[in-house]
Structure 1
Amino acid sequence: MEGLIKKAEEYDIDINDLIIDAISRKDPKGAINLRIELAKKYIAEAEDYLKKGDAVQASEKAYKTAEEIVKALAEKFNIPEYQQASKEGRWYTYWLASAVNRLTKDLGWVLNGWNSAYILHVWTESFLTLIEIFLYLFIINQFCGETTET
């Protein structure tokens, strides 16, 4: 089993996505809830890494939080980007960005949460201070909370 997972990772295949997509076929609402729970797990991990002073890992977990939130919302509203990702069996960054733009039309708060996470994802190595990361993390945490209420 470990060999299978390592091989999937070599090909940049997200095991969580595969499992959640399989669950979604039988229980769409359950899959959405799983993505939200995964986002909550990632944000908690991001906060733990930040407390330890690990800016790189905190930033990556924050980005994973936003990624799961966008996927959950895309599935909930059954937008074209979700349909395409389901058809292809994976999400690409440009579909996530397109989904954010589409979702923002009805849920204005999506853009701020996504942009904050994307900044952390892209600029991880650019020596953002822990305070700056904390501020972005605060916004992403709100993003996660808004999703839970939607």
Structure 2
Amino acid sequence: MPYRINYLQEAKELLERGDAVQASEKLYKVAEEAVKAMASALGLPEAKEANERGRWTLRLLEGAAARLAETIDKRIYDDWDHACFLHVEDFHEARLGVERVRRRLRYVEELLSIARRVLGEKQRS
């Protein structure tokens, strides 16, 4: 994918250093970029609207994640939801701590894996 995949590695390093807040934001960015990339590659209406507006909004990301879950893999929405939880509850509110963020890491990794599969298939077609 053309965006910063190293956000995931950065998040893991931040967790090792005990910085749950910044790790949460990196994990959210991985999820956000995965949803954007899949939506754009598949030409979803949310991606078209984001392109017209010149930016993505949370409403568009949420809609894209829901649509991707309906059409590609139902896990996408749940994985997205975990990333949003990290964004709000830890990055904005600093309520979770390292262990609770670490428990949600697998959902972001799963979403990234699905995105890589989808984008790989899209490039082959």
TM-score bin, normalised by smaller chain: 0.7 to 0.9
The partner residue of 2:101 within 133, 137, 146 is: 133
Q: Which residue of 1 aligns with 2:84?
A: 118
Q: Report whether the alignment pairs 1:63 with 2:31.
A: no
Contact map agreement 2:35 2:115 (CA 8 A) in 1: no
Residues of 1 paired with 2:77 and 2:102: CA distance?
18
Question: Where in structure 1 do 4 or more consecutive aligned residues deviate above 2 Å?
Answer: none
**Structure 1 runs not aligned, ≥5 long:** 1-32
After TM superposition, the score normalised by the length of structure 1 is 0.73
Residues of 1 paired with 2:19 and 2:37: CA distance?
27
Q: Which residue of 2 aligns with 1:42?
A: 7
Q: Which residue of 2 aligns with 1:91?
A: 56
The two structures, once aligned, show a CA RMSD in angstroms of: 1.1
Letter in 1 for 2:112: C
Residues of 1 paired with 2:95 and 2:84: CA distance?
15
Which is higher, the Rg of structure 1 or of structure 2?
1
**Structure 2 runs not aligned, ≥5 long:** 119-125
Q: Which residue of 1 aligns with 2:123?
A: none
**Alignment coverage as a number of residue pairs:** 115
SS of 2:2's partner is helix
After TM superposition, the score normalised by the length of structure 2 is 0.87
Identical counterparts, % of pairs:
35
Residue 126 of structure 1 deviates from its aligned partner by 4.3
Residues of 2 paired with 1:140 and 1:114: CA distance?
7
Higher relative contact order (CA 8 A, sep 6+): 2
